[in-house]
DNA sequence: TGAAATGTTGGGGCG
DNA sequence: ACGCCCCAACATTTC
């Protein structure tokens, strides 16, 4: 067999197994593995996510025997130079789907081809690519359920088997211009925050598979019923691994269907399809990252009160369940899914702050920060998305706490200053008699804030704002 | 993948 | 036994 050197451009597919681009290259001969931090990717890695990326790169570099070439700059210039210096005519990568990535990749692909290179790109990130799932009239789905039925429900056993790690994987010597991963400046300072993350997460392809295995062994069977209770650790923790591609969705599906009889696995796999749907929406409607998908929400009177925003970010709203969620986010780089909805609802509806501010904060703090999932999630809560929750569904964080954190375990864990309160008042300390507060060592406004808004009246304000928005829209429509 | 307001029903206490 | 009221438990409607 000929041995032809191929350049593999790694992006959000930082793994060796089930990596179609890598498999193709390895099949042709030796490989030159490359990671490039460019303007497009840099704009998308902030905060916690940058820390994860740095760990991912180190782990990938290890798996490649230290051969990963790392650069910072313009990918076209760098790839061209690498091709020239190493006499490479073949470049491969796995596709990304965010608008700026698509634009960049299209440009680079055509430029490389004009320069006489062969470029091949693959799907290593989604079960189906966006253009593979369309309605009968060839337009994209905007509603989850029909999307789910069309391509996924009941046919999880029809996806192909994921690719193994290439049997022969030989990297050429490292390019002399390659910099060290640390030099990318992803985590400029060794802060206590990063150290905290380090103690909680192991970032590698192996760890991703360990997480999946443990989830399948212990949690997936009761996922549907348990997943709503934030005090229990019922999640798969696969979010950040999926984002950076330490594991592929195809590998998840394959492993799940091998070990879990179908009806039991449905509710989890459905979540994986929400991830697909988010990527799909972002591909067809790139504006969801920044603007309301439903334009009638453009005149919703959302504000950006910086003081309120800060209190929300810091978990000092005085509403225990919201504060617990926001503190979990800050301390762990993740937040329980139901609590995400509750915290988001509180910001957008009770505080009337634009979802974009919440989305930005989540992008900064979440280890699984992902533009597709994040913007789809926020627009879902805000009511402005494609298949969104109606705006008038306003979560009551007290009721939600009583339903899903009945003993207050989750709240106590993240708000130690309330931990001695009896469960009757843990979700609403402002209703506790002074004597109970005193016994628990709580002084409202001192040891823990008073609620920054009244839940009942702020809810009414939100509904009034919605009414206002509808009137505005009716008026402009009439004017047209 | 809500919550509150409003409507309906039915059991039990009571005169 | 009967009507009446109260109210909890659901059900329906509305935002």
| A440-468 pLDDT tens trace | 999 999 999 999 999 999 999 999 999 99
Using the CA of A460, which nucleotide's C1' is the nearest one?
C15
Q: What is the pLDDT of residue A2?
A: 78
- Chain C positions under 7 Å from a protein CB? 15
Q: Classify the C-alpha dihedral A68-A74-A76-A82 as positive or negative.
A: negative
**Which tokens hold the place of A370?**
């992902």
Task: Evaluate if the CB of A389 falls below 7 Å from strand C.
Answer: no
Confidence (pLDDT) at A173? 82
Rounded distance in angstroms from the CA atom of residue A316 to the C1' atom of nucleotide B14: 52
Strand order in the sheet with A90-94: A69-72, A31-37, A6-10, A90-94, A118-122
Closest residue by Cα to the C1' atom of nucleotide C15? A392
Packing angle, helices A75-86 and A99-114, rounded to 10 = 30
For residue A1, the model assigns a pLDDT of: 58
Q: What's residue A192's pLDDT?
A: 81
Per-residue burial over A369-384, b = 16 or more CB atoms within 10 Å of its CB, e = otherwise: bbbbbbbbbbbbbbbb
Residue position matching structure tokens 């590998």? A251
pLDDT tens digits along A136-180: 999 999 999 999 999 999 999 999 999 999 999 999 988 999 999
Closest nucleotide to residue A396 (Cα to C1')? Answer: B3
Positions in chain A whose pLDDT score sits under 50: none
CA A151 to chain centre: 22
Report yes or no: A212 and A238 within 8 Å, Cβ to Cβ.
yes
CA of A78 to C1' of B14 (A): 91
State phi, psi for A444 to the nearest 5 degrees: -65, 135
- Residue A466 beta carbon within 7 A of nucleic strand C: yes
């Amino acid at each position: 067999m000929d041995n032809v050197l191929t350049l593999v451009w790694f992006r959000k597919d930082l793994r060796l197994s089930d990596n179609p681009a890598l498999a193709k290259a390895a099949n042709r001969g030796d490989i030159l593995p490359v990671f490039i931090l460019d303007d497009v990717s840099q704009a998308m890695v902030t905060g916690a996510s940058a820390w994860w990326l740095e760990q991912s790169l180190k782990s990938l570099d290890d798996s490649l025997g230290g051969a990963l070439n790392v650069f910072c700059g313009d990918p076209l210039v760098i790839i061209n130079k690498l091709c020239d210096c190493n006499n490479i005519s073949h470049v491969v990568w796995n596709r990304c789907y965010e608008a700026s990535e698509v634009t960049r990749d299209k440009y680079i692909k055509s430029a490389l081809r004009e320069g006489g290179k062969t470029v091949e790109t693959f799907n290593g990130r989604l079960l189906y690519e966006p253009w593979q799932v369309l309605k009968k009239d060839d337009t994209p789905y905007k509603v989850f359920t029909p999307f789910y039925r069309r391509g996924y429900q009941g046919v999880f056993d029809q996806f192909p088997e994921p690719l193994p790690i290439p049997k022969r994987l030989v990297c050429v010597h490292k390019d002399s211009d390659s910099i060290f991963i640390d030099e990318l400046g992803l985590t400029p300072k060794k802060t206590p925050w990063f150290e905290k993350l380090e103690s909680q997460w192991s970032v590698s392809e192996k760890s991703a598979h360990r997480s999946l295995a443990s989830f399948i062994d212990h949690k997936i069977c009761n996922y549907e019923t348990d997943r709503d209770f934030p005090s229990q650790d019922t999640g798969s923790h696969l979010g950040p691994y999926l984002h950076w591609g330490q594991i592929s969705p195809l590998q998840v599906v394959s492993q799940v269907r091998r070990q879990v009889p179908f009806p039991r696995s449905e509710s989890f796999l459905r979540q994986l399809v929400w991830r697909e749907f988010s990527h799909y929406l972002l591909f067809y409607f790139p504006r969801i990252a920044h603007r309301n998908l439903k334009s009638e929400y453009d005149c919703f009177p959302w504000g950006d009160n910086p003081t309120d925003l800060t209190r929300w970010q810091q978990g000092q709203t005085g509403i225990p369940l919201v504060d617990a969620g926001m503190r979990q986010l800050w301390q762990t780089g993740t937040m329980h899914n139901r609590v995400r909805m509750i915290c988001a609802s509180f910001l957008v509806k009770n505080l009337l702050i634009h979802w974009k501010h919440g989305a930005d904060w989540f992008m900064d703090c979440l280890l699984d920060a992902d533009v597709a999932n994040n913007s789809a999630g926020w627009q879902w809560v805000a009511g402005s998305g494609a298949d969104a929750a109606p705006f008038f569904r306003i979560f009551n964080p007290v009721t939600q706490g009583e339903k899903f954190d009945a003993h207050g375990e989750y709240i106590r864990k993240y708000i130690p200053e309330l931990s001695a309160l009896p469960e009757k008042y843990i979700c609403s300390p402002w209703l506790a008699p002074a004597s109970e507060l005193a016994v628990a060592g709580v002084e409202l406004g001192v040891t823990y804030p008073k609620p920054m808004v009244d839940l009942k009246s702020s809810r009414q304000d939100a509904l009034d704002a919605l009414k206002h928005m509808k009137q505005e829209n009716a008026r402009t429509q009439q004017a047209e």
